[in-house]
Chains A and B, each alone.
Chain A
């Protein structure tokens, strides 16, 4: 009979001895809850992805194509030639460690390979051996290693534990962007037919029907009409949004999560109410019915393809510019990659100018696309809408900067300006957890899938921890955001780390407060719960 372990042994009591194996030789254990389900072969075939095949991350054999080493070698060589940034990032890291403790996945898992510097080292070690002279000569001594199947598994494990949030790059003295490395490694994995279901299914749906869930035009329209019924119940105002109509000034595009999922729908209702109130000349599209771009979590090619669709629709409908809803990565794609990727916008499009205030959005001259909080902040600034913040008086609100708008496009003030105009109580989370330093929700870059809820909670710990702090200190009960993935990922995060805090889009708060011409006396908020003060009135 073996000896019963002591409690301190169970807790793996501290050992000051040096570890027996280096990080290079420790292999990840594919425990359930830490890896995403693989993409289906059919889906990959339909999208024309390379080497589609059946495989299971939990099994030993991933059924890689026979010449997998050659594929990876060529694919990496190709990327190195194409992206100078990749070569620079791989060459210049001095391993100073400034990024090491900045990643939410490292903070939440305690796994050293989630330190951004080590994450990149997983690729760099292979690069060093095959693409640098010193690595070829000196091998392991300079941190070079041979590519083997375990390295591929490790890539899959750790590059799907990076949400491409770019927090680490903020602290790197050289500006090395680990998110870009992650994007490349995911591309390399795709060359071997390795992708995840939660990303590839939406990509495929988006490619065929226009949105992540693959909802067809008539159903999309019907659902929007339900939401209009709800608006009528709440405000007494009937709204009939135009669909696929040509000749309107603005094409409005938002992530489809705002149409299909709670609590995004309340934000969507908020957009419609605002447009109605200001008399915006706009149309929705059932084809460009997705602002999200899971292509950007797949490959540059797929990102380009899905992005192009929005502009093709603007051209078909003859829209002058695009107004974009509260989304995260859509903005990263538009702001950082769109111009290089897709080139100039269609000829019919113009630099956006608010028809209500006359403000010209020069910052959007290239992309012809304005973020809705920029648009609304401008309306508020020019007193074009009336807001009654007492309708949000029951809420003590904080704001979660979504990684992409914050670090990817510098959108920091506008959402705060909107929220503060619509709410009586606003509290910031601690300084080192907001704005450019914001912590990810733990589910960005296509990792917002249920099967890795446990991993998401680990990644969400730093955000949840800061939220818990303001909940306890200031009684915060509402966390606002401007991202549809956030609206999906933050409710469980809040539920686990700071139970009792609810999650809302910024335009839900705006619409609660929006005083509309011809509205009935409002007693309900957008969720059809009593507005503050209603009970006492009765």
Chain B
């Protein structure tokens, strides 16, 4: 990933940024998880935070997985795209059908910027980190776009589900109607299995 404002090289050579962020890795994961949890009602947050069984608390689990994958982009040159893609996809798959406006569903990715900035500015090393920060923020933007793509895909899927369900639920009535109209079943629209 390379941008006019900053490059991967800047992040790497910007050992300052790396050094500033590294001790806060776990805190940043937790902070981001907190932001996501904070998008749920107050009474729900405690549960999301405390139950770590991935089947008993699917939202909490997916959030943690996404957080871990996301935070890696701060520390790796070549973030493993497949892992990142999967983590983003799985969490957005949840948020796309929950009661969130699109900007809230996807916006959690951008929250990482605020989290990084807070850590950097608290360190007093802001100026030294500038170019590396630019590059890093571009990376975060790329992940946000990834999330946006996932959101659009899942919403579209949701609408297709209705169409396909309708076809399935009337399949034999359609067949009866076609037969009455003298048409062969093959002429009917193919059904998705």
Contacts and interface: CB of A to CB of B under 8 A. Distances in A.
Interface of A: 6-8, 10-15, 18-19, 23, 31, 34, 100-101, 106-112, 115, 213, 215, 219, 222-223, 226-227, 257, 259-263, 265, 430, 432-433, 450, 453-454, 457-458, 461-462, 465-466, 469, 488, 491-492, 495-497, 502, 527, 529
Contacts of A263: 168, 193
Contacts of B59: 107-108, 110, 461
Given A11-B111, A19-B42, A223-B176, A469 B55 contact: yes
- Interface centre among B55, B57, B111, by most A CB within 10 Å? B55
B51 A101 contact: yes
B68 interface: no
The bracket for how many chain B residues form the interface is 35 or more
Given A10-B103, A461-B58, A492-B164, A260 B114 contact: no
Interface string B138-176: 000000000000000010011001101111111111011
Interface stretch (B18-26, B69-77, B94-102, B126-134): B94-102
Given A110-B98, A223-B176, A261-B168, A10 B57 contact: no
B110 A491 contact: no
B39 to A, nearest CB: 5
B168 to A, nearest CB: 4
B161 A10 contact: no
B38 A11 contact: yes
Given A101-B57, A495-B157, A13 B38 contact: yes
Most central of B51, B56, B173 by chain A CB within 10 Å: B56
B104 interface: yes
A265 B110 contact: no
Of A6, A8, A430, most buried by chain B (CB within 10 Å of CB) is: A8
Contacts of B53: 432
A111 to B, nearest CB: 7
A110 B44 contact: yes
B171 A260 contact: yes
Contact of B35 (A14, A461, A495): A14
A144 B58 CA distance: 33
Contacts of A502: 193
Interface of B: 34-45, 47-48, 51, 53-59, 62, 93-94, 97-99, 103-104, 107-111, 113-114, 154, 157-158, 161-162, 164-173, 175-176, 179, 191, 193
A457 B114 CA distance: 31
A112 B41 contact: yes
Nearest to A227: B172
B168 A491 contact: yes
B7 to A, nearest CB: 24
Most chain A CB within a 10 A radius of its CB, from B53, B173, B179 = B173
B175 A226 contact: yes
Nearest to A429: B55
Nearest to B50: A101
Contact of A488 (B62, B157, B169): B169
B55 A433 contact: yes
A465 B154 CA distance: 15
Given A10-B107, A466-B55, 16 more contacts: A11-B108, A13-B38, A14-B34, A14-B37, A14-B38, A19-B41, A31-B99, A223-B173, A262-B191, A263-B168, A430-B55, A454-B97, A488-B165, A496-B93, A502-B193, A527-B193
Residue from the set B53, B94, B166 with the largest chain A CB neighbour count within 10 Å: B94
B173 to A, nearest CB: 6
Nearest to A261: B169
B56 A432 contact: yes
Contacts of B55: 430, 432-433, 462, 465-466, 469
